[in-house]
Structure 1
Amino acid sequence: MKFTDGFWLVRDGVQLSYATEVRDVRVESKRFTTHASVKRVTRRGDTLNAPLLTAHCFSPAEGVIGVRITHHAGKRHPGPDFALAGADDGAGEVRQEGPVTDLTSGPLSLRLDRSAPFTLTFRDADGREVTRADAKSTAFATTGDGAHHLLARLSLGVGEQIYGLGERFTPFVKNGQVVDVWQADGGTSSEQAYKNIPFYLSSRGYGVFVNHPGKVSFEIGSESVGQVQFSVEDQTLEYYVVAGPTPKDVLSRYTALTGRPALPPAWSFGLWLSTSFTTDYDEATVTSFVDGMAERGIPLSVFHFDCFWMREYQWCDFTWDPDVFPDPEGMLARLKERGLKVSVWINPYIAQKSPLFEEAAALGHLVRRPDGDIWQWDLWQAGMALVDFTSPEARAWFQSKLKPLLDQGVDCFKTDFGERIPTDVVWHDGSDPERMHNYYSHLYNRTVFELLEKERGQGEAVVFARSATAGGQQFPVHWGGDCWSSFEAMAESLRGGLSLSLSGFGFWSHDIGGFEGTPDPSVFKRWLAFGLLSSHSRLHGSSSYRVPWEFGEEAVDVARRFTLLKHRLMPYLYGAAAEAHRTGVPMMRPMLLEFPGDPACRPLDRQYMLGPDLLVAPVLSEDGEVEVYVPAGTWTHLLTGERVTGPAWRTERHGYESLPLYVREGAVLPLAADDRRPDGDWLDRPTLLVHPSAAPAFTAEVTVPDLTGEPAATFRVRRDGDALRVTAVGTDRPFTVQVADGASAEGVGEVTVPVG
């Protein structure tokens, strides 16, 4: 939200009151509090008829410093609030020397100088300024409609770039944009977003998290071009500056605060196939799809039933449509015999025609208006109401309706929707409707995820979620929502996914081929390669099927090739997944995350690193031409063996069975021998694909995880003259070492391979 009219004036009807002069500083153990007047005080009379702003400065965790700005502290606070981890007594240390107060936490410090105008300066471990809230950067504003806002501005350095704020489909670098953190079902071609996260990451190696679950309005170098402004309609604004120095360090600290991603089961990384949305399907259709994939040699891991597995007008009643699926238990058993997992679509809405509507209403499990009426509308489902997940009883009731499906053989749920949440309602726990609008998605996905963990066991739970807010990364996987079937939509989907990855989300997927419309075969084939080189891979559409043979035999070949490739890569990919679970560093990484010191990598949004060592650049054109940037070093194409040297921009042309897919110099890729499934025995004769550097003292190490993500075996590589020696630790089973130049050898315990 903008409050000013250019540099000199404020907008009509707006009154701005800036924190101007420090009136006192009170040190409280590991934190301090200061009060700032909104004007210069030259005599006692100036303290009358004038407000103060209170700033509480503290550290909830090492390397994180929080600032809470309050105008009127007596405002009722009904919640909800983000659940944050942190030390109860604070992690910071306060030191005062003359007029200067310093709060230090790990490599980050905050300085307040009482002798100067009110300014908060954040510095790194070397004393360099990270960012600051200087004069006229902390304020409250009142507007002509009676609204009260708190706002803060943090400086932008020369050339500094801002990323994140959720899964945003607008330009990847957020400078110059206005971003409202407010859940919306807006597709992938607008400024609206399904996953709104009040957290941004800076190219200077720090992050900022605004601890407010409601609407947060960001002006990123847009109102004041040298600052990021964020504001809330409230009496309190709390934000955290998160230290680096690298972007990975920032994400690790941020996710330690808001929650690390759970580790999805290995089977979920295989190929998912859907019925699509409004298409006609029954068990015969499903069987034909499964048979068709098997006959064509395309391994399938998960089959998904979209909305119309339930009866029309009755979403959700959690009951199979008896006219279409008369024997759901038998059908699920037959799919299980094929080695498949099963997913079904749900949403948090109860249509009036559903038998569950009357039951939920009688139990008080539906959200109500202030006058006591149940909130309803006809958008999406006729007369639908909304489950009140703020009620523990309603959450348990919702889970009780899903459990019979798990007993039937369903393995996971696509938790769709959760964005269009009304604000003219009363919640069971008294939550503020504006704060609950975004936060509802968190309660919804947590409710389903916790049921899956309870019934399927930890490590087996996975959802396919569309909506999320801060902390939602704990309940993977998330997919990109409703996109069109075009190259442009493919690019915007990738842009949104990379933006989400810089917002703390470790796993992300998208609808291969696009959701709306029917893709041209060239779009579908290019999207197959992109989709199967993403964290999770799903074939899904709206009004048309997404089985590969609908798009020609070449599409079948492409689907087979990249599904088998993903399965071979699973020891490497699951290692990256386990890293995301442990550290918060995502699987799909924008280039700046791996190469923060390379300025050329900072704006890149059409390529990414898949894990630490694989560079992927999806082809976004019909003619196969693609521009790709390779950072410094020697890179080897995984499919062709071609070597290229960076830093360099390259223009390449690829057929449908290829794309820029480069392995980083010094990498060791563990490859599975069994490419028929994603969750096989990865230590059964694996191949270690070694890309040694030219350094005479080259060493490397790679760990192959087990199906729980724990280390199963470690392989240590070292150059010994004209040979590479690879030693296995934790396994006495045979393995093969293959060097990028083609030399290979097999053995047990230790393998030696000549290198040129």
Structure 2
Amino acid sequence: MKFKFFLLFLLLLKYAGLDAQTVQQVEVAPGVIKLNFGVADKFNPYNFCDQKPAVAAMKALPKGKLPFDIKDILISITDRGAVVEVPLKDDEQLYGFGLQVGSFNQRGLRKKPIVNDNPLNDLGYTHAPIPFYVSNKGYGILINTSRYTTFYCGSTNKLNNGAKALSESNGGNSVEELYKNKANANGSVTADIPGAKGVEVYVFEGPELLQVLQRYNLFSGGGALPAMWGLGVKYRVKADFTQQQVGKMAAYFRDNHMPCDVLGLEPKWQTTAYSCSYVWNPKYFPSPSQFIDTMKQRGFHINLWEHAFVNPASPLYEPLKTKAGNYLVWNGLVPDFADSSASNLFANYHKQTFVEKGISGFKMDECDNSNLAYGSATWSFPEHSSFPSGIDGEQMHQMFGVLYQKAVYNIYKQMNIRTLLDVRASNAFASSYPAALYSDTYDHDEYIRMVTNSGFSGLIWSPEVRESASIKDLMRRSQTAVLSAQTLYNSWYLTNPPWLQINVEKNNKNELLANDKQIEADVRTLLNLRMSLVPYLYNAFADYHFKGIPPFRALIVDYPNDKNVYNISNEYMIGQGLLAAPLTDKADERKVYLPEGVWYDFNTGQKYTGGKEYSITCNYTGLPLFVKEGTILPLAEPVEYITPSSKFEITCRVYGKTASTTLFEDDGVTFNYEKSTYNTVALNYINNKGMAKRSGNYKLKRYNIKGWQVIQ
């Protein structure tokens, strides 16, 4: 009789849309708790992550405390799919969801992070649709799914039969307020995951927002540490340039002492590009090996444009034919990167054909789906596609970019060579991949916002410079590029560099500006400033790798209790001591809020008291940058390109009476740092005296501290 009642109870639970099992809870790393309910999808982001958590570094973080009882996270499974509800306090601020373009503070919004080649508005469409958000209350929530998921960020109110009706009607509100749901909706963040029969939820503890991000990055294997030359300057040449024309462009940079480390080749280097053959085009590049060697001798790394859709003319076509999706893209195969054998075939070909011949990196384009905002945008594979591994088209779209970069990155990792890739899509747990995201969108304000948003999700963002509407636009964009993870000029449709002629038609007719040499000199000044900052930036990326600290991050990360920074999306921290406040061509002056403490103008040394807003200006050859008191800024004499033997002559600029910092020193090109083959150079300024102390196992000295400059 009891057994029959139990079966009846299970049946009732089933028809109620519930499951008899309970939520399983386990701490999978220090400060990281995984909740599991139902049968989670096989093809989820963490299952594709090969990197092991940096447990020792995670243990060193202070213990976190959630602002709610973890048992109050509710998970349910219905015929529709999975629903996750996370408690939300009235004064919480929410950030993240990947590389968001149209929004910053996500509180009160409905976000649907879906990979899309042209992100727009505040829908959540993005090049990196990461189902991960963080709170200024000191925790983060990651829904480990590759399905299209909608997050209601405190934007809805559930029916509560025990609650009293509101005594006031909303009749006095404006129409705009009513449709923006100004009824103080709160209570929870709800994630709706259609089609899921179960779900895993990762909870990252703080105690502060910075430690949440550190835990996430360290759990993902530690942040990326790119090749040192990747922090120099990258220039992409015109799509139809021949080997000879690329050589002339290389000569231009060296003859005019314009810093440049990387030259990127665009589609015409291949025999076919849409889809790709991955075969050198003999008409444009008759002797590729000689070309690569010549460029290497002149200090240039070569980066190749491609995408992952395999043309019938490619040597990869037949081997991948049975390891691809059942739909074509531009008549090319879509490799099943969820299958390790397909990924290995793709990677091994690239290794033998390109990397072993000296190619330093790839630009991985078109891995971000066609534009979902338009019915006419249909170039990519459909969501109902099927793949031999069992992954479907929807999940493959979400994961395609990260699986693609993983396949290519592993080539370099196995060869003990570091790189910095370009990619158009990514996803969760990809912090360790040295791949800079880029976009075909070109709004400067959005590009700045994407720098601040990138730090919430373990991403590297590249606000590349193409053509510009004016000289002012060019210079402001160049300043932002210099103050980002990757300084990139993309001239894929320009014969000459954009600083010689901003008008596209005239540029391609070789009709240069009358004052082209002056503009060139101004750009050179900015690029030299970038090269001066390389030791500082390199140390910031070392902190990213070893400590999980995002090198570029929003002010809210460092100042989570300052209400003034809750919605500031056009300022960001770089490393431990720099605050960037980029300008656009819309104005020569802007408002800048400086958080608590004392700050100094990078260009003038002017001193500011924090906790206030100021109006600032910056000329075209300076940097809209502020330095925090207590910072030692190691400024190097600029070099035109970086090699493993490059030595940096450094002047330590000291801000305040006492200051300290470190420099990370290694060969800059291998993974030998994983075996502790590196130095830490401790810099201290105390009692009017500067001191540098080197410790570690790396035998060479990359940094020579030649002087100290004090700014008070």
Q: Same-fold call, TM > 0.5?
A: yes
Structure 1 residue identity aligned to 2:681: T
Give the structure 2 partner of residue 203 of structure 1. 136
Deviation at 1:527, TM superposition (A): 0.7
* 1:399 and 2:399 correspond: no
CA distance in 1, matches of 2:216, 2:524: 38
Structure 1 residue identity aligned to 2:633: L
Give the structure 1 partner of residue 193 of structure 2. 232
SS in 2 for 1:549: coil
Query: CA 1:327 to 1:665, structure 2 compared with 1: closer, same or farther past 3 Å?
Result: same
* 1:728 and 2:693 correspond: yes
Alignment of 1:285-324 (within 5 A): 285-312=245-272, 315-324=275-284
Q: Which of 710, 733, 739 is 2:709 aligned to?
A: 739
Give the structure 1 partner of residue 374 of structure 2. none
Deviation at 1:681, TM superposition (A): 6.1
SS in 1 for 2:46: coil
CA distance in 1, matches of 2:661, 2:356: 43
Deviation at 1:476, TM superposition (A): 1.5
Give the structure 1 partner of residue 453 of structure 2. 499
Give the structure 1 partner of residue 681 of structure 2. 714
When the two structures are aligned, how many residues end up with a matched partner? 627
Q: In the alignment, is the contact (CA less than 8 A) between 1:701 and 1:717 conserved in 2?
A: yes
* 1:438 and 2:398 correspond: yes
Give the structure 2 partner of residue 118 of structure 1. none
* 1:247 and 2:209 correspond: yes
* Higher normalized strand content (fraction of residues): 1
Give the structure 2 partner of residue 160 of structure 1. 92
Give the structure 2 partner of residue 745 of structure 1. none
Deviation at 1:683, TM superposition (A): 6.3
SS in 2 for 1:474: coil
Per-residue CA deviation, residues 672-710 of structure 1 (Å, 9 max, x unaligned), is: 2353334576765422111124xxxx4534234233466
* 1:376 and 2:328 correspond: yes
Q: Which of 267, 274, 277 is 2:236 aligned to?
A: 274
Deviation at 1:554, TM superposition (A): 4.1
CA distance in 1, matches of 2:274, 2:25: 51
Q: In the alignment, is the contact (CA less than 8 A) between 2:438 and 2:464 conserved in 1?
A: yes
Give the structure 1 partner of residue 633 of structure 2. 669
Q: Which of 577, 590, 600 is 1:636 aligned to?
A: 600
Alignment of 1:568-647 (within 5 A): 568-647=532-611
SS in 2 for 1:240: strand
Give the structure 2 partner of residue 473 of structure 1. 431
The higher relative CO (CA closer than 8 Å, separation ≥ 6) is in 2
CA distance in 1, matches of 2:314, 2:33: 50
Give the structure 2 partner of residue 412 of structure 1. 361
**Which structure 2 segments of 5+ residues have no match?**
1-5, 54-60, 158-184, 370-380, 503-515
* 1:532 and 2:471 correspond: no
- More deviation, 563-572/388-397: 388-397
* 1:550 and 2:501 correspond: yes
Query: CA 1:633 to 1:395, structure 2 compared with 1: closer, same or farther past 3 Å?
Result: same
SS in 2 for 1:150: strand
Structure 1 residue identity aligned to 2:81: H
Per-residue CA deviation, residues 53-95 of structure 1 (Å, 9 max, x unaligned), is: 332222212212222233xx5x9x55355236789xxxxxxxx
Query: CA 1:599 to 1:724, structure 2 compared with 1: closer, same or farther past 3 Å?
Result: farther
Q: Which of 313, 319, 329 is 2:289 aligned to?
A: 329
Work out which of the two has the higher radius of gyration on C-alpha atoms and give 1 or 2: 1
Structure 2 residue identity aligned to 1:376: L
Query: CA 1:734 to 1:182, structure 2 compared with 1: closer, same or farther past 3 Å?
Result: closer
CA distance in 1, matches of 2:558, 2:600: 17
SS in 2 for 1:569: helix
CA distance in 1, matches of 2:645, 2:17: 67
Structure 1 residue identity aligned to 2:248: S
Deviation at 1:521, TM superposition (A): 2.4
Q: Which of 606, 612, 633 is 1:648 aligned to?
A: 612
| TM, length-normalised to structure 2 | 0.81
Structure 2 residue identity aligned to 1:387: P
Deviation at 1:612, TM superposition (A): 0.9
* 1:364 and 2:322 correspond: yes
Q: In the alignment, is the contact (CA less than 8 A) between 1:528 and 1:558 conserved in 2?
A: no
Query: CA 1:704 to 1:65, structure 2 compared with 1: closer, same or farther past 3 Å?
Result: closer
Query: CA 1:624 to 1:740, structure 2 compared with 1: closer, same or farther past 3 Å?
Result: farther
SS in 2 for 1:223: coil
* 1:82 and 2:46 correspond: yes
Q: In the alignment, is the contact (CA less than 8 A) between 1:350 and 1:357 conserved in 2?
A: yes
SS in 2 for 1:349: coil
Query: CA 1:684 to 1:304, structure 2 compared with 1: closer, same or farther past 3 Å?
Result: closer
Deviation at 1:169, TM superposition (A): 0.3
Query: CA 1:197 to 1:49, structure 2 compared with 1: closer, same or farther past 3 Å?
Result: closer
CA distance in 1, matches of 2:268, 2:368: 21
Deviation at 1:392, TM superposition (A): 3.1
Give the structure 1 partner of residue 510 of structure 2. none
CA distance in 1, matches of 2:193, 2:139: 22
CA distance in 2, matches of 1:704, 1:735: 14
CA distance in 1, matches of 2:476, 2:232: 18
Q: Which of 68, 73, 82 is 1:150 aligned to?
A: 82
Per-residue CA deviation, residues 304-359 of structure 1 (Å, 9 max, x unaligned), is: 0012211345531111222222222222222122111100011110134x244752
Give the structure 2 partner of residue 510 of structure 1. 463
Structure 2 residue identity aligned to 1:496: M
Q: In the alignment, is the contact (CA less than 8 A) between 2:141 and 2:204 conserved in 1?
A: yes
- More deviation, 426-435/404-413: 426-435
Give the structure 1 partner of residue 146 of structure 2. 213
Q: In the alignment, is the contact (CA less than 8 A) between 2:454 and 2:553 conserved in 1?
A: no
Structure 1 residue identity aligned to 2:96: G
Deviation at 1:360, TM superposition (A): 3.7
Query: CA 1:647 to 1:679, structure 2 compared with 1: closer, same or farther past 3 Å?
Result: farther
What is the root-mean-square deviation in Å for CA atoms of aligned residues? 3.0
Query: CA 1:471 to 1:519, structure 2 compared with 1: closer, same or farther past 3 Å?
Result: farther
Give the structure 2 partner of residue 112 of structure 1. none
CA distance in 1, matches of 2:97, 2:490: 26
Q: Give % identity.
A: 22
CA distance in 2, matches of 1:218, 1:705: 42
Deviation at 1:243, TM superposition (A): 0.6
Q: In the alignment, is the contact (CA less than 8 A) between 1:188 and 1:480 conserved in 2?
A: no
Q: In the alignment, is the contact (CA less than 8 A) between 1:183 and 1:196 conserved in 2?
A: yes
Deviation at 1:438, TM superposition (A): 1.3
Query: CA 1:208 to 1:554, structure 2 compared with 1: closer, same or farther past 3 Å?
Result: farther
SS in 2 for 1:163: strand
SS in 2 for 1:650: strand
SS in 2 for 1:259: coil
* Higher normalized helix content (fraction of residues): 2
* 1:258 and 2:220 correspond: yes
SS in 2 for 1:394: helix
CA distance in 2, matches of 1:409, 1:48: 59
Per-residue CA deviation, residues 277-298 of structure 1 (Å, 9 max, x unaligned), is: 4xx4223332332222223321
Give the structure 2 partner of residue 422 of structure 1. 382
Deviation at 1:539, TM superposition (A): 0.5
Q: Which of 325, 335, 351 is 1:387 aligned to?
A: 335
Q: In the alignment, is the contact (CA less than 8 A) between 1:269 and 1:678 conserved in 2?
A: no
Give the structure 2 partner of residue 67 of structure 1. 35
Give the structure 1 partner of residue 298 of structure 2. 338
Q: In the alignment, is the contact (CA less than 8 A) between 1:214 and 1:439 conserved in 2?
A: no
| TM, length-normalised to structure 1 | 0.77
Query: CA 1:738 to 1:316, structure 2 compared with 1: closer, same or farther past 3 Å?
Result: same
CA distance in 1, matches of 2:646, 2:558: 26
Deviation at 1:617, TM superposition (A): 1.0
Deviation at 1:537, TM superposition (A): 1.0
Structure 2 residue identity aligned to 1:628: V
